Structure 1
């Protein structure tokens, strides 16, 4: 079995942590590698001093370590951490995912997710992933919310991208009970072996 590399985007958002938990429970196979990927960027027009960039990198690494702690409950999980500077539109993430040869990218979907920007773009950035992209969102808080799976469609320039949004709610596996084996009350008549007994002789002879 080939070893797969699954990239999980690390963000300071609960949706990202939910996405990691989903990947560990539903996507990870024995021997696979989980790559915790965090891309930080300085504010547009802001200072790009070495001190500030070093601080952003440190915070990103600490955040990735907290994600690694989530994986600790899954024994024998191969974890690697990648922290890099990039943009907020997802171009750097796409480049890193392609370079590492990931078979899947798992992203927690939230209001500020870079996936919305990628979905609305008309260039060819999205196709650079070259892998399956799973955007996981948290289950709705209301029990009456819809549990359907939604699919995000992309334009023609992104035909190489399998872009699916997976709803967490229908992914909960129900309790599977073993099938009931019907008990045959009456055996097969043809399987019954009849044994005939010889009639017992009466003692003292027979009366005439």
Structure 2
């Protein structure tokens, strides 16, 4: 089985945690690498203090997501597969944290996901999501999203 790198966008909104929970239930497998990705906004401040605080807040947020993975993923597996298998999964699933600054909305996330070689991107969609801005920039993505959404609708109608 191939090891997959799954990037999860970490934001301080409920939708991001819900997306992580969905990923834990539906797509994370034995040996996968989960990359928690937080991108904080570019600061125009002359002092480095504001950027440092934003980076620290992003790292703390990612650590709280990592704690969710440890707590919830192990509980899911305890119920579904038994204690021994659960311990192997938790030990074999690696979690990485990437906290970076962006200068263009959403493009840093796309570039970082490509750089990581992630096979999947998990994002919680909410009112101020970067995806809305990315969809307006790249003409190919809305076509893909329409096809994807039509496939989902077809699956649900059966």
Which TM-score tier does this pair reach, normalised by the shorter chain? 0.7 to 0.9
**Rg comparison, structure with higher value:** 1
Alignment-derived partner of residue 99 in structure 2: 83
Aligned runs of 1:109-124 on 2, under 5 Å?
Answer: 109-122=125-138
Deviation at 1:87, TM superposition (A): 3.2
TM-score by length of 2: 0.75
Distance in structure 2 (CA, Å) of the matches to 1:47 and 1:72: 36
Q: CA RMSD in A?
A: 2.8
Unpaired runs of 5+ residues, structure 1, are 128-152, 172-208
Distance in structure 2 (CA, Å) of the matches to 1:58 and 1:10: 13
- Kindly tell me: are residues 48 and 66 of structure 1, through their superposed partners in 2, closer, same or farther at Cα, counting changes over 3 Å? farther
Deviation at 1:49, TM superposition (A): 2.2
Give the total of aligned pairs. Answer: 135
For residue 142 of structure 2, the aligned residue among 154, 158, 167 is 154
Alignment-derived partner of residue 2 in structure 2: 2
- Describe the superposition over 1:38-87 as per-residue Cα deviations: whole angstroms up to 9, x where unpaired: 000135xx425211100000000000011111101224132110001113
Distance in structure 1 (CA, Å) of the matches to 2:146 and 2:95: 24
On the 8 A contact 1:24/1:71 being kept in 2, the answer is yes
- Kindly tell me: are residues 16 and 163 of structure 1, through their superposed partners in 2, closer, same or farther at Cα, counting changes over 3 Å? farther
Unpaired runs of 5+ residues, structure 2, are 75-89
- Kindly tell me: are residues 88 and 24 of structure 1, through their superposed partners in 2, closer, same or farther at Cα, counting changes over 3 Å? farther
TM-score by length of 1: 0.58
**Highest relative contact order (Cα 8 Å, sep 6+), 1 or 2?**
2
